[in-house]
Amino acid sequence: MQRIARLRTLSGAKALLALKCFATWSVFPLMRQYLDGSTSSSLNEVRLGREKFGGETHAYSVAWADHEIDAVLTHGDKIIFNSLAQLQRFGDKARAAGKPVGLRVNPGVSNSPYLLADPARPNSRLGESDPDKIAAVIGQLSGLMFHNNCENRRFEHFDEMLGHIEQRFGHLLAQVQWISLGGGIHFSEPGYPLEQLAERLRRFAGRHGVQVYLEPGEASVAGAATLEVTVLDVGFNGKPLAVVDSSIEAHMLDLLIYDYSARIEPNTGEHETIVGGKTCLAGDLFGTFRFTRPLQVGDRLSIEDAAGYTMVKKNWFNGVDMPAIVVRRLDGREEVVRAFGYDDYVGSLS
């Protein structure tokens, strides 16, 4: 949070929390001291942002429905449309409600290592890409949103892509008041050249006469939480195995859909062990880790980096109990802010 606040001060850019990455609202009172507001990908998120986060509330969705639009315009300060067709359908309503209107632009380049998460994938539905078509409606727009980074750890790469955006859409940038550059920039990691990024953003804003917005999701919460699990059984099948009281399908779905391993630290001992979940899914595996001694029933393990895209995907697969949400306060106190039981389980199935 402090790094984000520093970037805001140095660059003049505003930062909005992307709620799809992290929507654990019990810690919003702390986070809003460092951020300007929130951005969203659905009506539920816009409303959560308005009611629980406060500050500036951007409303974006890949597609709004007719029955949602009035509520979206009530809760959002700005509305960002994903397509010219959505702009045409709802633009007049937004202007009548006095809400500034933005459009998502797809610059056709990205750095995503995963096709699944690549907004510039072939035949992408995420944003408009033809500068001439956008120019034709520019008078209706107060801003443009570009979101084409995903886990981008290299400033040089960000810089290059921003250059590409300026080259292709430069004549449009000067005609709006604000530009959102989306999320996916991992500037909160140690070693990221924050000052260089700030300088680049400041120059970008000055050259085009715009207010810049950033929408950090992952960068807001990277490394901020762990998933605490307990070993229920140990065994051996060619390699030592352990089963824990959790599941990647139920609790850390990203590991499954992007096919990568969880992180457990340190990972340097002599006892290599496969750690798996307790569901019936054969590939429900957190990964293979090196422990300093053989695991035993009752051992507790900490899965690192469990905040982003994890706490918002609790889908009760196989009826596995949800992890409680525990907030470590700044004074070190740990507070169970929510625990889940059978009633919640039954209530979630409707």
Ligand X SMILES: *Cc1c(COP(=O)(O)O)cnc(C)c1O
What's the rounded Cα separation, in Å, for the pair 346 and 221?
A: 30
Give residue 198's identity as a one-letter amino acid code. A
For ligand X, the closer of residues 102 and 276 by Cβ is 102
Out of 217, 276, 277, 323, name the contact with ligand X by CB under 6 A: 217
In angstroms, give the least distance from the CB of 349 to ligand X.
Answer: 28
Choices 198-206, 209-217, 222-230, 330-338; region in contact with ligand X by CB under 6 A: 209-217
Question: Is 218 annotated as contributing to ligand binding?
Answer: yes
Choices 177-185, 241-249, 265-273, 335-343; region in contact with ligand X by CB under 6 A: 177-185
The reply to whether 183 sits near ligand X by the rule CB under 6 A is yes
The reply to whether 14 sits near ligand X by the rule CB under 6 A is no
Out of 218, 249, 284, 305, name the contact with ligand X by CB under 6 A: 218
CB-based contacts of 261, cutoff 8 Å, min separation 6: 255, 286, 287, 288
Closest CA to 17 of 323, 224, 157: 224
Out of 36, 56, 128, 215, name the contact with ligand X by CB under 6 A: 215
For ligand X, the closer of residues 18 and 229 by Cβ is 18
Out of 43, 172, 210, 219, name the contact with ligand X by CB under 6 A: 219
Out of 182, 276, 277, 323, name the contact with ligand X by CB under 6 A: 182
For ligand X, the closer of residues 35 and 275 by Cβ is 35
Question: Is 128 annotated as contributing to ligand binding?
Answer: no
Distance of CA 25 to the CA centre of its chain: 14
Sign of CA dihedral 115, 119, 123, 126: positive
Choices 105-113, 162-170, 180-188, 320-328; region in contact with ligand X by CB under 6 A: 180-188
Choices 26-34, 48-56, 182-190, 279-287; region in contact with ligand X by CB under 6 A: 182-190
Question: Is residue 3 within 8 Å of residue 187, measured between CB atoms?
Answer: yes
Choices 154-162, 179-187, 253-261, 299-307; region in contact with ligand X by CB under 6 A: 179-187
In angstroms, give the least distance from the CB of 41 to ligand X.
Answer: 6
Residue at token pair 């196989």: 318
Choices 43-51, 210-218, 242-250, 310-318; region in contact with ligand X by CB under 6 A: 210-218
CB-based contacts of 222, cutoff 8 Å, min separation 6: 186, 188, 189, 305, 307, 308
The reply to whether 20 sits near ligand X by the rule CB under 6 A is yes
- How many other C-beta atoms are found inside a 10 Å radius of the C-beta of residue 333? 8
Question: Is residue 212 within 8 Å of residue 12, measured between CB atoms?
Answer: yes
What's the rounded Cα separation, in Å, for the pair 301 and 94?
A: 49
The reply to whether 127 sits near ligand X by the rule CB under 6 A is no
What's the rounded Cα separation, in Å, for the pair 178 and 183?
A: 16
- Checking DSSP bridges between strand 325-328 and strand 334-338, what pairing results, if any? antiparallel
The reply to whether 147 sits near ligand X by the rule CB under 6 A is yes
Q: What tokens does 341 get?
A: 């039981």
For ligand X, the closer of residues 215 and 249 by Cβ is 215
Question: Is residue 197 within 8 Å of residue 153, measured between CB atoms?
Answer: no
- How many other C-beta atoms are found inside a 10 Å radius of the C-beta of residue 29? 11
**Total residues found in the chain within this entry:** 350
In angstroms, give the least distance from the CB of 60 to ligand X.
Answer: 6
Question: Is residue 326 within 8 Å of residue 225, measured between CB atoms?
Answer: no
| Residue numbering of the annotated binding site for substrate | 218, 254
| Residue numbering of the annotated binding site | 218, 254
User: Applying CB under 6 A, which residues contact ligand X?
Assistant: 18, 20-21, 60, 147, 150, 182-184, 215-219
